[in-house]
Amino acid sequence: MKSIYKFLAFTLLAVFTSCSSDDDATAGLMGENKVTLEFDNSVGSDDLLLATAGYTNSQNETLTITRLNYIVSNFSLTNDAGEVFTYDKEESYFVTSEETGSTEVVLEHIPAGTYVSVTFGIGVDQEKYLQGAEGQGDFLTIAEETNMMWSWQAGYKFLNYEGTFTSETVTEPTDFKVHMGSHGSSLDNYKEVTLSLGTDALVSDEMSPIIHIVADANDILDGENKLALTEQSVIMVSEEKSPKVALNTASMFTVDHVHNGTGDSH
């Protein structure tokens, strides 16, 4: 009988110690800090290498990619209690560019907490665009400098994806261009994405996590919607294909891992 009591006491102690350890990891999170999102572009299981590698899709087209730029915006983080922290909208527009190496988004002044998911937009929402050129702030200049504008009247390019391709019937390298954006209220291609982090992102005055997000460029044309460059190598303002590109692009993001590290508070 004593052995049973000893076993129960040991079990309760082990459970209590385990819970205490878990609580210690997240208890007492105070202050604020930055959260960094690293966008790691790939093609399937391979790293994306601009202009140096060929990638074959399910339609037997081989692509050499020379540009992959996209706009990410309107970030929010949800904590383990279901509370949502929405990042300042005026500061929430970024261009990630593989060709310039600008694939990092830094969100400043995030309140301490245990965050379990991140939400962001692909492109620029209508509310922001309808503020007019004067209401875009510095982001308008950034978009122009990174080839993410057609013109102010035509609007932003949410995605700028370019390169060359060959196929069974197109034997010489041929240019392709996939530019996707919204074109008036009748063709709104702005999409929102919510990603579970898998591992909690811990923020405090001493902890500044890095969230590594993989963007699979293969999904842009070879995702749920299959779009053959052999049939149409330039996709821009298309009532049929632009919405399909938008849906594919919104599905290309996954969280690979979260690094909870120490960092200076901001």
**Per-residue pLDDT in tens (0 to 9) along the chain, 266 residues:** 444 444 444 444 444 344 434 444 445 689 999 999 999 999 999 999 999 989 999 999 999 999 999 999 999 999 999 999 999 999 999 999 999 999 999 999 999 999 999 999 999 999 999 999 999 999 999 999 999 999 888 899 999 999 999 999 999 999 999 999 998 767 899 999 999 999 999 999 999 999 999 999 999 999 999 999 999 999 998 889 999 999 999 999 999 999 998 765 44
Q: What is the pLDDT of residue 154?
A: 87
Q: Are strands 174-180 and 234-235 parallel, antiparallel or unpaired?
A: parallel
**Phi first, then psi: what are they for 125, rounded to 5°?**
-70, 160
Q: What is the pLDDT of residue 183?
A: 81
Q: What is the pLDDT of residue 187?
A: 84
Q: Give the other-Cβ count within 10 Å of 254's Cβ.
A: 15
Q: What is the pLDDT of residue 8?
A: 40
d(CA 35, CA 209): 5
Q: What is the pLDDT of residue 28?
A: 64
Closest CA to 114 of 19, 30, 9, 21: 30
Rg (CA), the chain: 22
Residue-wise pLDDT for 22-43, tens only, equals 444 445 689 999 999 999 999 9
Q: Do residues 40 and 214 make contact, with C-beta atoms less than 8 angstroms apart?
A: yes
Domain residue spans of the chain = 1-28, 31-259
d(CA 224, CA 245): 10
How many angstroms separate the Cα of 258 from the Cα of each of 6, 163, 168, 201? Answer: 40, 32, 41, 7
Q: Do residues 78 and 61 make contact, with C-beta atoms less than 8 angstroms apart?
A: no
Q: Do residues 228 and 235 make contact, with C-beta atoms less than 8 angstroms apart?
A: no
Q: What is the pLDDT of residue 29?
A: 82
Of how many residues is the chain composed?
266
d(CA 242, CA 161): 13
Q: What is the pLDDT of residue 106?
A: 98
At 20, list the tokens.
Answer: 């205490």
Place of tokens 């007019």: 132
Closest CA to 126 of 74, 167, 88: 74
